Amino acid sequence: MSILSSKNILLGISAGIAAYKTASLVRAFIKAGANVKVVMTPASKDFVTPLTLSTLSKNPVHSTFYNEDDENAEWNNHVELGLWADYLIIAPATANTLSKMANGTCDNLLLATYLSAKCPVYFAPAMDLDMYKHPSTKNTFTTLQSFGNIMIPATSGELASGLVGQGRLAEPEDIVTFIENDILGKLPLKGKTILITAGPTHEALDPVRFIGNHSSGKMGFEIAKASASLGANVILITGPTNQQVNHSLIQVVPVVSAQNMYDAAHTYYKNVDVAILSAAVADYKPKEISNKKIKKSDTTFVLELEKTKDILASLGEVKQKQLLVGFALETNNELEYAKGKLKKKNLDLIVLNSLKDKGAGFKSDTNKVTIIDKEFNIKAYELKSKAEVAKDILREVINKLDA
């Protein structure tokens, strides 16, 4: 899955022959999983039709502040378009449009949207060779980049005028790749590897029965997705769960039992930067596992249990450079138990859940956590979606990595 998946892409199109490539560019963004809206300069409609772009993007295409043919038409709000966008990409960006962007000229909807956008802005120049080389154009490039705008360089080749040289709009696939790489390169966890455990473990009694718990794995999966969105390479070791994830930066390692999870965690742990153990691992397992289904006979059934290996403590014992994060789910004396676990298991952070808090715990889409570091600094958070809780946890992880 692309880093652009679920992102809002606003594509601005100015009036150059290269506008014909924008149909393919919209398709490339859609293929990457992005949501796409299009804003065109009025003159760009001579090169590619709004109907084509609206069909491909599945959104209306905007080119004027209002529909002059409809006296009851609503105003196309450039501020709302700019706020909707996670990224604004202007492609093709002609010399005329770029000059206006650099000088604050605002004579069409695209330029008004650009001037009000709060998101990162990418521009992909497309023009003839002599225009591309002109000193005024080079000054425009420098000015726009000084504003924080990101330039996607034009390529060399045969141009519409017949000249051969730099000025061709980058190919749609190359534009998408450029943006993906640029975003990834700036993400705070780029180059970091994070191990995450999630879900329950199932401890077999016989071939058809097991001891387990109510963990859904949602919290761990949200942490994995949030880590990948921040650029990390993620190893997600998960017990049996219905949760799913599809991301190029997430490697899913399915396991069943506590022993399976222990083995997998130790296999990968030595090569990671951060380990976040959110799985609800069984504390006990049957001492004997029947190789045949246990028949119902007596009115009572005595089951002898033995402790499973403590994965979190074992990783704390061999910890070297890793940042180790554990979870504590408690029902009473929560802070005291969490602080004791933090120290005893050699953790850097512990995330405390209380089953007393409504909306927290297993199977819920929300969670309420308190994060404690090894200096016993405490941060308590309000009830939030597990996706937002994941961001809070990773914010604390990033702060510790940067410290």
Catalytic residues: 213
Closest CA to 104 of 94, 92, 95, 116: 116
Question: What DSSP designation does 104 have?
Answer: T
Residue 396 contacts by C-beta under 8 Å, 6 or more apart in sequence?
A: 349, 371, 373, 379
Three state DSSP letters for 297-346: CCCCCCCCEEECCCHHHHHHHHCCCCEEEEEEEECCCHHHHHHHHHHHCC
Distance CA 111, CA 95 (A): 13
Closest CA to 221 of 249, 240, 197, 194: 197
CA atoms within 13 A on the CB side of 94: 16
Distance CA 324, CA 341 (A): 12
Distance CA 152, CA 91 (A): 9
End-to-end CA distance of the chain: 31
Nearest-10 Cα torsion for 293, 294, 296, 300: -160
Closest CA to 149 of 170, 181, 122: 122
3-state secondary structure of 84: helix
E runs forming strands in 144-258: 150-151, 155-158, 164-168, 193-198, 203-204, 210-211, 233-238, 250-254
Distance CA 147, CA 138 (A): 15
